[in-house]
Amino acid sequence: MKNPPSLRFDHVAVPVHDAKSAYQLFADTLGLPLVAAHTGDDWDGAPERKLQDAGFAIRHEDHGDQRSIYFEDRSGLTWEITTSRKSSTVDADARATVDEWIAHHR
Residue pLDDT, tens place only, 18-34: 888 888 888 888 888 77
Per-domain residue ranges of the chain:
9-104
Measured CA to CA, the distance from residue 17 to residue 34 in angstroms comes to 19
For residues 27-53, one letter each, b for 16 or more C-beta atoms within 10 angstroms of the residue's C-beta and e for the rest, the string is: eeeeeeeeeebeeeeeeebeebeebee
Residue pLDDT, tens place only, 66-93: 788 888 888 888 888 887 666 667 788 8
Whole-prediction pTM: 0.44
